[in-house]
Amino acid sequence: MHYHPPLKDISFVLFELFNAAQTLNRYPEFEEIDQDLMSQVIEEAGRFASEILFPTNAVGDREGCRFENGHVKTPTGFKQAYRQFQEAGWPALACDPAYGGQGLPHTLNTVLYEMLTGTNHAWSMFPGLLHGAYSSLYHYANDELKDVYLPKIVSGEWLATMCLTEPQAGSDLGLIRTKATPADNGHYILEGNKIFISGGEHDLTENIVHLVLARLPDAPPGSKGISLFLVPKFLPENGVPKVRNAVHCTGIEHKMGIHGSATCSIQFDQATGWLVGEPNKGLAAMFKMMNAARLLVGINGVGVSETVYQNALAYAKERIQMRAATRPENRHSEPADPIVMHPAIQRMLMSQKAYAEGGRMLAYYSALLLDGAEHHPDEQIKAHFESELALLTPIIKAMLTDQGFEAAGQAIQIFGGHGYIQETGIEQYLRDIKIAQIYEGTNEIQAIDLIMRKILADNGQRLFNLLDQIQETINTTTQPAFVNSVAALTQVCQHLRALIPAISDASRQSPDLPYQIAPEMLRLVGHAAMGWLWLKAATIADEQKEKDPAFYGSKIDTAQYYFDFILPETRQLIQVIDQYLIHSQQGHSTNYLDSLM
Ligand SMILES: Cc1cc2nc3c(=O)[nH]c(=O)nc-3n(C[C@H](O)[C@H](O)[C@H](O)COP(=O)(O)OP(=O)(O)OC[C@H]3O[C@@H](n4cnc5c(N)ncnc54)[C@H](O)[C@@H]3O)c2cc1C
């Protein structure tokens, strides 16, 4: 296995497609940003990921985390890699300089995490949660808490967790039972059990900051009665961890993948904690953390797609099996050809490439929206960015992780039997990436979030704004080579515009309907957004192709492949949605509970 940081494509997306340096540089906080600075950071990130982190990936999978006497030992090399990561200042990258951060854009952090998750998914989860904790505390904690905890989190001296899940409360956080009782000196006493807590215990840092969802004694039932608390492993005095708090790891899970990530059961046994934000408004504060985390989970899908594509391609060029239908002259005397010459293999590779590069465009576009939503000086534009980001977040999380899983499966297929056995190392990626479809809100929950909260709640307005932007690009695409791509994308957008009122009407009679078609809608909107960015990318590549025919030519080919052979998936998606609409209009039940009972 190997990993080459895809610096050329990253630069293309950031600087040619999105003009990222100039865009960011307009925000007062990013005055110092220019392309050189961004490129330097990205190259360094690529070096860390490929030279330091990547070598720990397979060993992390083999050894896994170990649980001994209440302590968790991470696999060989994890501690050293974390120390180097911390010393290089990577945890502080996108954090506020007021707390020791480097004040760089989220966009750069997104690029960093693409490479970290592509080289060691399990390890990347330890620092990955730090950013969500940072943004929750930064936006909701009082100054006292911020002054004590943020500098330690920003420097990476202390890592953080996100403690939501309990045995009876997974997707439904309204079922949480962990209790928080006010104590007389302003803090709270927490009691309860959490499960599946990533990084709940480990040997990477001297302290761990748990962000915990719990209920106050007089809390209303359900999700309206949940508050957020900060519970450190050690209670600090003057910035030094001193007294051991009553929060303990009672075990770690043995699981399908990400063996190097400690998935912990955590017991709060009258632990001391502090309220973050307002009582009973914990979910809002936690959502701040979860949205940042969801973008990072989506980029995980891109990171893995890139790594498995790189390795599948290299293997396909080397592995010789059977004669290809079309063979170059110089191979006529050879008994067999590299499998990359077989159309079936080419199709899998092109699909991996189109989604890895398409996912990268979508994820970086969203990261730029996040930076704009936080830093644009105009409040109206800020609100517009925030709204578009809210629409795209469930798509990034679900579609890109689905594609990561698909790409890892295709890579094993390309490796054949050699991919299924452990020796080559490719099967680890499939086992590891599966969890990304489940945690941070399962992909089914993401699809429901998209249709119910992001589309139907405002009668499709947010989506129509996105479709208007897509239409603008369509209107300005004049290259004859892209006529068919433009037509295909136009059709998807037209269908979407017509579907929203139809779904909205039908859901009044059939409350199940929007939930039934949620997965199709997520992919459909996802393809509209991805197709939009592919069209922009193809146009730029077409303008620049003389400069670097190999790179831009391949970009145009990949765009064409996406439009000709991937985007047609939308026809089937639309057909399925139409079937549900027809059933609903005709009063036919599409609830299959009876057949399943
Ligand atoms: C390795 C690992 C790491 C994790 N890390 C953390 C962590 O750091 N912190 C943390 O708090 N949690 C963590 N989790 C928990 C994770 O977020 C949950 O597993 C996830 O939210 C799903 O909850 P559940 O497992 O209880 O599944 P359930 O909620 O029981 O869901 C089961 C199935 O039903 C579906 N489903 C449920 N409700 C609906 C609905 N309304 N409509 C359609 N489908 C529905 C789901 O999509 C899923 O397919 C982790 C889990 C694992 C395995």
Mean pLDDT of 164-184: 96
Nearest CA owner, ligand 1 atom 26: 170
Confidence of residue 17 (pLDDT cuts 50, 70, 90): very high
The answer, yes or no, to whether any atom of ligand 1 lies below 6 A from the CB of 126, is: no
Confidence of residue 184 (pLDDT cuts 50, 70, 90): confident
**Cα 278-284-285 angle, rounded to 5 deg:** 65
Whose structure tokens read 């990955």? 128
Per this entry, what is the length of the chain?
Answer: 597
The answer, yes or no, to whether any atom of ligand 1 lies below 6 A from the CB of 169, is: no
CA 168 / ligand 1 centre spacing (Å): 11
Catalytic positions are 440
The whole-angstrom separation of Cα 131 and Cα 124 is 12
CA 195 / ligand 1 centre spacing (Å): 11
Residue 458, in any domain of the structure: yes
Burial class (CB within 10 angstroms; exposed 0-12, middle 13-18, buried 19+) of 50: middle
Residue 263, in any domain of the structure: no
Domain of residue 542: give its range: 447-588
The whole-angstrom separation of Cα 368 and Cα 389 is 9
* Tokens read off for 532: 């939009």
* Tokens read off for 530: 């991805």
Q: Which of 128, 126, 166, 123 is nearest to 257 (CA)?
A: 123
Instruction: For residue range 545-572, list pLDDT tens digits in order.
Output: 999 999 999 999 999 999 999 999 999 9
Contact 392, 351 (CB under 8 A): no
Give, as one character, the DSSP assignment of residue 307: H
Contact 261, 431 (CB under 8 A): no
CA 230 / ligand 1 centre spacing (Å): 22
The answer, yes or no, to whether any atom of ligand 1 lies below 6 A from the CB of 170, is: yes
Name, in order, each residue with C-beta under 8 angstroms of 283's C-beta and a sequence gap of 6 or more: 173, 213, 223, 226
Instruction: For residue range 404-441, list pLDDT tens digits in order.
Output: 999 999 999 999 999 999 999 999 999 999 999 999 99
With a cut of 80, say whether residue 390 has pLDDT above it.
yes
Instruction: For residue range 337-371, list pLDDT tens digits in order.
Output: 999 999 999 999 999 999 999 999 999 999 999 99
The whole-angstrom separation of Cα 124 and Cα 493 is 37
Residue 519, in any domain of the structure: yes
Helix, strand, or coil here: 462?
A: helix
Pocket test for ligand 1, best of 161, 171, 226 (most atoms within 8 A of CB): 171
Residue 411, in any domain of the structure: no
CA 391 / ligand 1 centre spacing (Å): 21
Mean pLDDT of 483-494: 97
**Cα 386-391-394 angle, rounded to 5 deg:** 120
Report pLDDT for 286. 78
The answer, yes or no, to whether any atom of ligand 1 lies below 6 A from the CB of 463, is: no
With a cut of 70, say whether residue 288 has pLDDT above it.
no
Report pLDDT for 284. 82
The answer, yes or no, to whether any atom of ligand 1 lies below 6 A from the CB of 263, is: yes
The whole-angstrom separation of Cα 143 and Cα 146 is 5
The whole-angstrom separation of Cα 337 and Cα 324 is 6
Instruction: For residue range 455-465, list pLDDT tens digits in order.
Output: 999 999 999 99
Mean pLDDT of 111-138: 95
Report pLDDT for 226. 97
Name, in order, each residue with C-beta under 8 angstroms of 120's C-beta and a sequence gap of 6 or more: 53, 54, 56, 57, 60, 81, 260
Instruction: For residue range 63-73, list pLDDT tens digits in order.
Output: 999 999 999 99
Mean pLDDT of 41-62: 98
Give, as one character, the DSSP assignment of residue 564: I
The whole-angstrom separation of Cα 55 and Cα 51 is 7
The whole-angstrom separation of Cα 429 and Cα 416 is 15
Integer-rounded Cα radius of gyration of the chain: 24
Nearest CA owner, ligand 1 atom 38: 171
CA 36 / ligand 1 centre spacing (Å): 41
**pLDDT mean across residues, the chain:** 96
| CA 114 to centroid of chain Cα atoms | 9
Contact 154, 95 (CB under 8 A): yes
Residue 484, in any domain of the structure: yes
Q: Torsion angle, CA of 42/48/49/51, rounded to 10 degrees?
A: 130
Report pLDDT for 28. 95
Report pLDDT for 446. 98
Report pLDDT for 185. 87
Contact 295, 393 (CB under 8 A): yes
The whole-angstrom separation of Cα 545 and Cα 556 is 9
* Tokens read off for 445: 């929950």
Sign of the alpha-carbon torsion through 22, 27, 31, 32 = negative
With a cut of 90, say whether residue 510 has pLDDT above it.
yes
**E strand segments, 107-206:** 158-163, 179-182, 188-198
The answer, yes or no, to whether any atom of ligand 1 lies below 6 A from the CB of 557, is: no
The answer, yes or no, to whether any atom of ligand 1 lies below 6 A from the CB of 165, is: yes
Q: Which of 407, 408, 402, 492 is nearest to 447 (CA)?
A: 402
With a cut of 90, say whether residue 291 has pLDDT above it.
no
Pocket test for ligand 1, best of 165, 209, 210, 290 (most atoms within 8 A of CB): 165
Residue 478, in any domain of the structure: yes
How many structural domains compose the chain?
1
The answer, yes or no, to whether any atom of ligand 1 lies below 6 A from the CB of 442, is: yes
Instruction: For residue range 186-235, list pLDDT tens digits in order.
Output: 899 999 999 999 999 999 999 999 999 999 999 999 999 999 999 999 99
With a cut of 90, say whether residue 2 has pLDDT above it.
yes
DSSP assignment of 476-488 equals H---GGGHHHHHH
Residue 512, in any domain of the structure: yes
Instruction: For residue range 32-45, list pLDDT tens digits in order.
Output: 999 999 999 999 99
Q: Which of 135, 225, 208 is nearest to 174 (CA)?
A: 225
Residue 103, in any domain of the structure: no
Nearest CA owner, ligand 1 atom 25: 170
Minimum-distance ligand 1 atom for the alpha carbon of 261: 1
